[in-house]
Amino acid sequence: MTEPAKNDVHPAGPGGQAGWRPRTRMVHAGARRSQFGETSEAIFLTQGYVYPDAETAEARFSGAAEGEGFIYSRYANPTVRMFEERMAALEGTEDGFAAASGMAAVSGALMCQLSAGDHLVSSRALFGSCLYIVETLLPRFGVEVTLVDGTDIDAWRAAIRPGTRAVFFEAVSNPTLEIVDIPAVAELAHAAGALVVVDNVFVTPAFSRAIALGADVVVYSATKHVDGQGRCLGGIVLGSRGFIRDRLEPYMKHTGGTLSPFNAWVLLKGLETLPLRCAAQAESAARIAAALDGRPGIARVLYPGLPGHPQHALAARMMSGFGTMISFEIAGGKAGAFRFLDALRLIRISNNLGDAKSLITHPATTTHQRLSEAARAALGITPGLVRLSVGLEDPDDLIADIQSALSAV
């Protein structure tokens, strides 16, 4: 690949694209063209790179080479780099590092900065694998972890102390859609010198304001809305150039949780339609939540966009859209929830989310099965609770499917 013409590289970062708005950035940011001038980004399915001479190889390894030189695809790859730069341009961070899955991103973002003796404060309402990392894995390496109710700012205040190196939470929690007040937690964390790491999957990159609100590091499972069509696993960590290059990159490149170039390409193409898909899915979610709210047979509806949601005003400040996820409680406990799920014809039973296809799951017996009954109760994961990921189907068809399944219950 010869050096592309100057206007064929769209640099990442705020201001890097002369004020392009998010939808424009999602189509163009980070794109680079080979000497063939392809319109669609190329898949550089290569492990390594050849050097014109030994001197160039030496210069690349010493970091002294002019411009950008790739060394090995566990470290960096042109297609993966395009994905990282496009994500950084969307989130408004200086840089990003892509990972093989959302969990490779979450574990990397925490493991790269924490050492034995450090203290981490984390919200308790976490995706199961995130909970495993903070509750089981990090303590094995001598990291002290305090778990708090993420919605209780006094609990954060009581837990954060000098020596707290980082705080971690899902900005909107799975599956009960509780909202964490990012500016309030960030103020406490920053006063203690701690870094704010946010798992922002349920907000979606399309609706995120995390960096402007005070987050330092934002992590996504790109498996979800970024792909958006149920194909590839992937993840990304976004933050300052210092954090990404000095802290995260050495950890990721030497432990090997890097993203495959093929998956990076799928995710990169997913970003082109991300804002449109998330807007349509969130609009449908709002209609479905309104249709469910107060309906007989539904004990409660959890959707941050409902004016009656206890954190509706906070959600409106935290995100530029109310998201694509709804949780609701079917009367009749587990039996009622199972009858409802089994009566659905269009919405499919799956624990995945963010897909073009609407997917529904029963958290108590799937994603949160591992927890004790008491732990589930503490998180509000009741036997009748179901979690719906709203897809791209016509919302009237989704509402009709839900209504006919409810009649069957």
Cβ proximity of 381 and 175 under 8 Å? yes
Cβ closest to ligand PLP, residue 170 vs residue 401: 170
Q: Is 223 in the site for ligand PLP (CB under 6 A)?
A: yes
Nearest-CB residue to ligand PLP? 102
Nearer to ligand PLP, 181 or 199 (CB): 199
Site residue total, ligand PLP (CB under 6 A): 16
Are the beta carbons of 17 and 24 closer than 8 angstroms?
Answer: yes
With CB under 6 A as the contact rule, the residue among 235, 261, 275, 321 that binds ligand PLP is 235
- State which residue, 352 or 404, has the beta carbon closest to ligand PLP: 352
Rounded to the nearest 10 degrees, the angle between the axes of helix 261-292 and helix 78-91 is 30
244 vs 241: CA distance, rounded Å: 5
Residue appearing with tokens 């909107």: 172
Residue with tokens 């998180």: 379
Q: Please, which of residues 194-213 interact with ligand PLP by CB under 6 A?
A: 199, 201
Burial label for 246, CB within 10 Å (0-12, 13-18, 19+), is exposed
Closest distance between ligand PLP and the C-beta of residue 175, in Å?
A: 10
Spatial distance between the Cα atoms of 212 and 250, rounded to a whole number of angstroms? 27
- CB 68, CB 56: distance < 8 Å: no
> Is position 367 an interface residue for ligand PLP (rule: CB under 6 A)?
no
Q: How far is the CB of 224 from ligand PLP (least distance, A)?
A: 6
Contact with ligand PLP (CB under 6 A) among 80, 233, 337, 347 = 233
Stretch of residues binding ligand PLP (CB under 6 A), selected from 64-72, 221-229, 318-326, 384-392: 221-229
Q: How is residue 41 written in tokens?
A: 């980004």
Counting contacts by CB under 6 A, is residue 106 touching ligand PLP?
A: yes
In the set 79, 174, 258, 382, which binds ligand PLP (CB under 6 A)?
A: 174
Is residue 103 a contact point for ligand PLP (CB under 6 A)? yes
Residues in 16-45 at the binding interface with ligand PLP, rule: CB under 6 A: none
CA-based nearest residue to 110, from 136, 75, 88: 136
130 belongs to the binding site for ligand PLP (CB under 6 A): yes
Enumerate residues 73-102 that contact ligand PLP by CB under 6 A.
101-102
Hey, what are 328's tokens? 């609701």
Please check whether residue 324 is in contact with residue 389, taking contact to mean a CB–CB distance below 8 angstroms: yes
Cβ contact 306:293 at 8 Å? yes
Outline where DSSP puts E strands in 345-403.
348-349, 359-361, 385-389
Among residues 31 and 315, whose Cβ is nearest to ligand PLP?
A: 315
Binding site for ligand PLP (CB under 6 A): 101-103, 106, 127, 129-130, 170, 174, 199, 201, 221, 223-224, 233, 235
